[in-house]
Chain A
Amino acid sequence: MKCKITILCLVIFLGTFLQQALAQNLSVTGSVKNKGTGESLAGATILVEGSATSTLTDANGRFAISAAKGSVLVISYTGMTTLRYTVTGSTTGEIQLEESATTNLGEVIVVGYGVQRVTKVSGAISTIRAADIDKLKPVRTEEILQGRASGVNVIQSGSPGSKPTVLIRGIPSFSGTDPVVIIDGVPQTLTDFNSINPIDIESISVLKDAATTAIYGVKGGNGVIVVTTKSGRKNQKAEITVSSNYGVQQVMNTIGVLNATEYAAMINEGSVTAGGNIIFPNLSTVGVGTNWQNEVFKNATFQTHTISARGGSDKMSYFLSAGYLNQGGIVGGNDKSRFNRGNFTANLSFNLTSKLTFIVNTTGVLLDSKGVQENSFNSVLGSALNFDPTVSVLNTVPNTVGKYGFSNLLLSEIFNPLTKLENTYNKNIGNKLYGKFELQYEVIKNLTLTSRFGYTKYDGNAKGFTPLVFYGPLNVENSMNADGSQVAGRFNTVSHEKTSNFNYTWETFGNYNFTVANDHNFETVLGVSVAKTSGNAAGASRQDVPFNSWEFADFTAATGNNTATNSNAVAGYYYQYFRRNLSYFTRVNYDYQSKYLASFTARRDGSYAFGSDNKFANFLSGSLGWVASSEDFFKSDFIDYLKIRGSYGSIGNENVSPQFVGIVTGGPSYGPTANSNGYTFGDVFYPGSTVGSAANNALRWEKQLQMNVGFDITFYKNKFSLSADYFEKKVDGLLFTPSASLYLGTVPIPTANIGSTSSKGMDVTLSYNETIGKSFRLNTSLTFTTSENLVTATNSDGTAKILGGGYFNGQSQTVTVFEKGFTPGYFYGYRTNGLFQTFDEITKAPTQAGAQPGDIRFMDMNNDGAITAADQTKIGDPFPDFTLGWNVGLEYKNFDFSVFTYASVGNDVYRAYERNANYSNKSRDVLGRWTGPGTTNDVRTPRYSFTDANSNIRVSERYVEDGSFVKIKNLQLGYTFPERMTKNVFSRLRIYAQVRNAFTFTKYTGFDPEISGGILDTGVDRGAYPQARTFSFGLDIKL
């Protein structure tokens, strides 16, 4: 032991010799402990403030450091509150650190290719800690970011395990807006968040501005989420954690639709108004019928179990973890809709020699999921909302197959949702292996070379089965007859798909930190990165599965063979893809006495996809910071810390594919331009060949210029901290098809980088910590995120409109547009001005074909005296004006309580789940319909008729609702057993009860106003899978 201390002292002495050779220092010794557990903390950092002198505690939590009397030691440890200690003598005694929930000033945060002390950061970064993640027990990591990381907008989906919309600082494009995800230094994608167990995460840094993301160059344009998983520490006693959570999920609310009698009355009215017959002559026999929503929503299980161990010896450290998660789906229950995941992680670090460290992180993941048709009028939920309520749940008609009832009115598209559910068969199995091999070599002190090989290997195996189904004797979409026989020409089909991909990144870089003339501190990094992603997929399908059953649904069992009249009996396909990148990067962080901060980053990126004229791109950024509170003249009892920051730089997005002059051979083209091939001689078709694609050698990355200014302040005895950032960014080079001369022919014009958007906004985080007395602690934090977005250019003549948000309500409609001069993905349609009450009003109004009293009065936006397609305009915006997250944590003695509230304000929802077929069920709103002059002027309730010459169902404000909401996302009450009760068995035992999605406050009339999707699908509610309310109990044990 003594020897070790001697060596430590020697190292410290040598390390500081150059800089501080003449300083008269004390040798200070002491020890560091966890205040909560009393455990010695090995590997805690002790830093002499304002110098480069630092050391780590040994296995027993002891340290020795050379420091002048009166200087300040900063003692920090990941996950603990940093402590400052002023040196008064040669020993500090026992220093106790507390576990922390939020970012603290002394902590280091993980940035690209290195770590940085929070106080020295001059860019914009949001950080989340393990403590927050452990409390939420989320399925996917993004859930933690929602409302907790300012500047990040997360719109969740209810479907088990599905990927939410994640936008970091505004909407740059109509596609490709996912941020990059870096897990332990290895690039992955947002999709990969389905396979990391959030409990294994130590910290998450969200890099938001150019200063922090430019080191990722052409990948950094949408922001970067840097995830660091847990690892063991050297000489750490084994710490075993078991955490278990079991709960039940249920639907939060259902939508008011007509009961059977109301439905029958409305159908009668609709038919008679349109000049038809009474459909239900005797309403008194109809009754209340079936509420199909109650039939399809099931309570479903939710459980997570994780066991992990961390620790280390002299030469190695480890983190081992095994986890299981099961999220059943509330639509149809666990059998039909679910997400299951098993994780196995080993993060190992070995000191091969005193200077050479070898790190191996490996995670294996097993994914097993099933899904139901979602988000359309004919999905399971869409059918539940629109299906005939007069039908009984079970089929009672003699001599017909089928377990569930059928309608004789709805004869296509919308089916009994239970029949749909029963005939939904699929499974998705995935195996993923990801991790890294990393060698770190300390060439000389403070110069470390790192070579890291990171990889992700995924193999997916999916199977789907479409059985023959009988939907009712009159149904036109039957593939099975009432007697169970096959409808001629219809087949059941089993389809298989195997996907495989392998991505790797090999990075080699050097970090060198040095100090010049005591006060000028430099942290530098220089490196190179080589990356490749590749994958392939093969699929096969076959008809005629024996016994029409899932049990025999396999290619090998199916018996279909292609014939002259049926070329789809056996089918298959294969494709492959790859991408390659090469990058060089460097960064210099500089600070003078930790007071004046500067950072400069450069990255040079090459991509296989860029045109030959633009193989490489350069990305530069810089930032400056000033810690005003460190100035001598800054004397404030109120403000403890104040830093002002600013950054500017460029980053990019590589959403391009290589272009080349290709020759296509064969027959007709099914592309949008139908640049077909081949010709007929006599009656025989001969395939041909022609130039089928063109190249744009100037093709390049999408370029972003981003500016950020902000400040961090802590005040009132370090109890309050506030970080605020304002940003502006301009995205250039979005891919659009330029307008080209028609005499070039019909070869598709290659896309070019001609679109642009701009965004500006603010991210604010405010937190407050208070301890009252000995036993009451409060910590609360509030985040605020806002951005304004504008499309500033599209194609060369500015006329391009990218349409999206397609849905069907009797007509094929699109509701969202990406267009110059507007916010991205805004809702586009007719504005409304009440209902026509009389014929007189119609004659006086602008010409509106087909209008009758009781129909919607649309607005003549261009004042040409007629309602035409040209009158369509902006009628809503699916993205919020701002979002708020509010976390409150209370601790009283052994009890802890936390509430997390998330609010999204100003987001509109387009209600697109109503099919509007004559016999489809309707919203209860229809009961308040227009029935004569003066009855109502509400555009949501026009007159009701089977015929709709006015097209009241066209895309209009009728279907736009304010989707602003406040959700209590998480409520948790926990109790930690006193140490005296458990210490013989556990070092810590906590039990808790949790409610997720406890309450939603909204005016929206659908299931859930939080509707995720791409930029062009967000906020379009086609009957989206609602998020479930989950009640659960859990326990966390430390052995």
Chain B
Amino acid sequence: MKKITIKITTLFLFTLLLGSCKKWVDYNPREDFRITELDYLQSETDYRTMAISVYTPLQWINQVVPIGDIASDNAVSGGENASDVLSLQQIDDYTHTPVNSALTEIWQSAYEGINRANYMTQYKAANVAGKAIDFAGKEALYGEVYFIRAYYYFTLVKMFGDVPLFVEKRLSLTESKSLQRTAKAEVYKQIEIDLNAAIAVLPAVQQQKGRITKYAAQALLGKVFLYQNKFDAAATVLESVITANAFTLPSNFAATFLAAGENGPESVFEIQYSNTSPYYNWPGYNRGQGNYSAQQCGIRGLNGTAAMPYAAGWSTNLPTQNLAAAYEAGDQRKAVTVLDIEAYKTANPSFNITYQVAPYKNTGLYNQKYLPRKGETSGQLELNYTNNFRIIRFAEVLLMAAEAYNRSTTPNDTKARDYLNRVRQRAFGDLLHNSSASGIALKQVIWDERRLELGMEGDRFFDLVRTGQAATKITGFVTGKHEVFPIPQLEVSISGLTQNNLY
């Protein structure tokens, strides 16, 4: 009897084992102490911390700025030789093709930013677990997110034209290869929606420097209107930035481009860089906290005394003599925009400067606004320069407003001239160089002034395209093709997107 019991028990246990414990192979990442999206967005802090990383890819798309000048008559690619920084060489020479690492990086980084913003908006009303998290300032925080998403789309649309548009969610692997390009006008419509939503909720002043303000959103909206030739709307929105009296033009133009001048009185929107989280990751060279493009434009083999302020670099993005010659005598902006190294060396014998003449496409000039400077980097020195990109300065707001008034359905050249001359007065430090032009002539003056004021800040190429001057100003520019850059080849071959015309 007893033995039978043992037998039956054994058999029973045996069968029981066979049928049970499927949960054994379930997996919860918490067992590995890993945070998943189900655990996150549970508090105000989570939302605020995640919003910070929506900003992050702004730093990664730094090559938009050098490309804006290299693709224009402002700068050449430079570098060590014809195959150094090939992606920029080809853009300079107008031989660029869909295979271009710099363009691919901009495309992918901007979309990472969009996906990060989308993830925030996707879980705005309720988090992934379905719970609503409300806190004071949540709307204003989302104003920043809307602005940044608009900025990413604006970057994409001005570079590539029609691009895939999605705002509902962060795409997952299953949505790979599922999208086609959306018409430029539709993308602009979404940008306007986001910027208007941002303007409605953003504060005029932010405690932390570099956070998006209402004025930044208005200024960007004005720029977006200009790019669409919506001058009346542009004038209105830009006027509100100017009349707010929140910004001024400091008389010393050079000061704006020093470290001390970052986020200064004329700063409307700057992309922030720092060296306080040192970066070492060469494979992700332009995805750290530092401004990689500063290292790029430095002078090769530069050496000098401790007092000499500049650090060495790679002689890329060299201003042209054509740009230097565009400045009138007495314009303080020339020396701030282009550095004639030989003249500088002669003028400062005490610095004992030695340097290597730029080995390729030498112009003798360097991008003074964003030159790498000693002591402004850390970690892997090449990757951690602190130079902020001055994306929208008040001077540009004035010039944009001037252009908007000049080109409105009912032009207001008085206002246009007034705004233009505020910029010129700062440049020359007097009233003698004020413009008195009007009508079409004034329009050209404003356009030319943009080149001088914003030289080496990455706007020139896009301005030339926007104003229809590209074919006459840029050697190699083919109308109907080069207004936009090619869609990255990988995206065409993987996702099946159509390619831009003639590429």
A residues near B (Cβ < 8 Å) are 355, 441, 443, 449, 508, 510, 528, 530, 576-578, 580-582, 584, 606-610, 615-616, 658, 660-665, 667-691, 694, 696, 738-747, 749-750, 797
A-B CB contact pairs (8 Å), 25 listed: A441-B6, A443-B11, A530-B21, A584-B18, A606-B24, A660-B27, A660-B34, A662-B34, A663-B40, A672-B283, A676-B56, A678-B56, A679-B53, A679-B210, A680-B276, A682-B210, A694-B172, A696-B173, A740-B176, A741-B176, A742-B494, A744-B173, A745-B108, A747-B112, A747-B115
A249 to chain B minimum Cβ distance, whole angstroms, is: 43
Whether B142 is near chain A, meaning CB under 8 Å from some CB there, is: no
Interface pick from B231-239, B240-248, B444-452, B485-493: B485-493
Contacts of A690 in B (CB 8 A): 50, 53, 56, 116, 119
Contacts of B491 in A (CB 8 A): 741-743
Contact B287 A663 (CB under 8 A): no
A583 to chain B minimum Cβ distance, whole angstroms, is: 10
B141 to chain A minimum Cβ distance, whole angstroms, is: 13
Complexed CA–CA distance, A485 and B109 (Å): 49
B14 to chain A minimum Cβ distance, whole angstroms, is: 6
Q: Of A578, A677, A681, which contacts B208 at CB under 8 A?
A: A681
Most chain B beta-carbon neighbours within 10 Å: one of A580, A696, A749: A580
Whether B31 is near chain A, meaning CB under 8 Å from some CB there, is: yes
Whether B228 is near chain A, meaning CB under 8 Å from some CB there, is: no
Q: Of B18, B56, B60, B495, which contacts A688 at CB under 8 A?
A: B56
Q: A679-B56, A696-B173, A750-B173 are in contact. Are A581 and B25 (CB under 8 A)?
A: yes
Contact B35 A665 (CB under 8 A): yes
Contact B280 A670 (CB under 8 A): yes
Sample of 13 further A-B pairs with CB below 8 A, known A577-B32, A674-B281: A608-B26, A658-B29, A669-B284, A678-B56, A681-B209, A682-B208, A689-B52, A690-B116, A691-B37, A739-B490, A740-B177, A744-B111, A746-B57
**Which residues 52-70 of B have a CB within 8 angstroms of A?**
52-53, 55-60
Complexed CA–CA distance, A678 and B322 (Å): 39
Complexed CA–CA distance, A609 and B31 (Å): 13
Contacts of B7 in A (CB 8 A): 443
Complexed CA–CA distance, A670 and B383 (Å): 13
Q: Of A616, A676, A682, which contacts B209 at CB under 8 A?
A: A682
Q: Contact flags (1/0) for B362-380 with A, using CB distance below 8 Å?
A: 0000000000000000000
Complexed CA–CA distance, A658 and B27 (Å): 8
Contacts of A530 in B (CB 8 A): 21, 24
Q: Of B22, B33, B284, which contacts A676 at CB under 8 A?
A: B284
A-B residue pairs, 9 tightest by C-beta: A674-B284, A688-B53, A745-B112, A688-B52, A681-B208, A680-B274, A682-B209, A606-B25, A674-B287
Chain A residue nearest to B491 in the complex (CB) = A742
Contacts of A610 in B (CB 8 A): 25
Whether B501 is near chain A, meaning CB under 8 Å from some CB there, is: no
Contact B210 A663 (CB under 8 A): no
B282 to chain A minimum Cβ distance, whole angstroms, is: 10
Complexed CA–CA distance, A671 and B282 (Å): 10
Q: Contact flags (1/0) for B2-19 with A, using CB distance below 8 Å?
A: 010011001101100110
Contact B52 A678 (CB under 8 A): yes
Complexed CA–CA distance, A675 and B18 (Å): 44
Contacts of B134 in A (CB 8 A): none
Q: Contact flags (1/0) for B205-239 with A, using CB distance below 8 Å?
A: 00011110000000000000000000000000000
Whether B434 is near chain A, meaning CB under 8 Å from some CB there, is: no
B384 to chain A minimum Cβ distance, whole angstroms, is: 10
Chain A residue nearest to B55 in the complex (CB) = A679
Complexed CA–CA distance, A449 and B488 (Å): 64
Complexed CA–CA distance, A577 and B493 (Å): 39
Whether B36 is near chain A, meaning CB under 8 Å from some CB there, is: yes
Contacts of B21 in A (CB 8 A): 530, 582
Q: A608-B27, A679-B55, A687-B49 are in contact. Are A744 and B115 (CB under 8 A)?
A: yes
Whether B273 is near chain A, meaning CB under 8 Å from some CB there, is: yes
Complexed CA–CA distance, A141 and B109 (Å): 52
Whether B288 is near chain A, meaning CB under 8 Å from some CB there, is: yes
Whether B279 is near chain A, meaning CB under 8 Å from some CB there, is: yes
Contact B36 A661 (CB under 8 A): yes
Whether B39 is near chain A, meaning CB under 8 Å from some CB there, is: yes
Chain A residue nearest to B494 in the complex (CB) = A739
A740 to chain B minimum Cβ distance, whole angstroms, is: 4
B184 to chain A minimum Cβ distance, whole angstroms, is: 16
Contacts of A673 in B (CB 8 A): 284
Contact B277 A668 (CB under 8 A): yes
Q: Of B175, B276, B490, which contacts A685 at CB under 8 A?
A: B276
Contacts of B170 in A (CB 8 A): 691, 745
Q: Of A671, A676, A685, A689, which contacts B49 at CB under 8 A?
A: A689
Contact B25 A742 (CB under 8 A): no
Contacts of A580 in B (CB 8 A): 24-25, 27
Contacts of B210 in A (CB 8 A): 679-682
Chain A residue nearest to B107 in the complex (CB) = A742
Whether B263 is near chain A, meaning CB under 8 Å from some CB there, is: yes
Complexed CA–CA distance, A689 and B13 (Å): 48
Complexed CA–CA distance, A745 and B152 (Å): 12
Complexed CA–CA distance, A694 and B280 (Å): 25
Chain B residue nearest to A690 in the complex (CB) = B53
Contact B10 A441 (CB under 8 A): yes
Q: Contact flags (1/0) for B400-437 with A, using CB distance below 8 Å?
A: 00000000000000000000000000000000000000
Contact A668 B288 (CB under 8 A): yes
Whether B179 is near chain A, meaning CB under 8 Å from some CB there, is: yes
Most chain B beta-carbon neighbours within 10 Å: one of A688, A694, A743, A746: A743
